[in-house]
Each structure stands twice: as structure tokens, then as C-alpha cells.
């Protein structure tokens, strides 16, 4: 695993938690912020996965 994979997955988890808290507290802004953070984490983790795939092909 590389840094992008780890950081991306951490951000994804933090975003899921924020999103859930936003739902429980009925805070639309927090829910949206969590959703965005979760998706940014997915992209970063995907980028890390791509880097690993390229590294394995060498």
C-alpha cells in the first residue's frame, strides 16, 4: 500500500462518519461535507491503486 491509498481510505472513513453524524443531527451542511470528503477519499484511494498497478507492471 502507498500513501495515497492509505490517506484516501482514511478520508473516505472520516467522510462516512461526518455524513452519518449529519443525518443523525439533521445537519444538511455536515452531511454534504461528509459526502464530498468521502468521494474525495475514494478518488485519492483510486489514484493510489492505479499507482500500485503501474508499479507492479514494471
User: What residue spans define the domains of the chain?
Assistant: 3-57
Output the pLDDT for position 58. 74
Output the pLDDT for position 57. 84
Q: What is the pLDDT of residues 2-58, one digit of tens each?
A: 999 999 999 999 999 999 999 999 999 999 999 999 999 999 999 999 999 999 887
Residue owning grid cell 482514511:
10
Grid cell in block for residue 57 = 507492471
List Cβ neighbours of 11 (8 Å cut-off, separation of 6 or more): 37, 38, 40, 41, 44
pTM of the model: 0.88
Grid cell in block for residue 52 = 500500485
CA dist., res. 49 & res. 46, Å (int): 5
CA dist., res. 23 & res. 10, Å (int): 20
Output the pLDDT for position 44. 97
Amino acid at each position: 500500500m502507498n500513501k495515497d491509498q492509505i490517506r484516501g481510505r482514511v478520508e473516505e472513513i472520516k467522510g462516512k462518519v461526518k455524513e452519518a453524524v449529519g443525518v443523525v443531527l439533521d445537519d444538511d451542511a455536515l452531511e454534504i461535507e461528509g459526502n464530498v470528503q468521502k468521494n474525495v477519499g475514494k478518488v485519492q484511494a483510486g489514484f493510489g491503486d492505479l499507482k500500485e498497478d503501474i508499479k507492479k507492471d514494471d
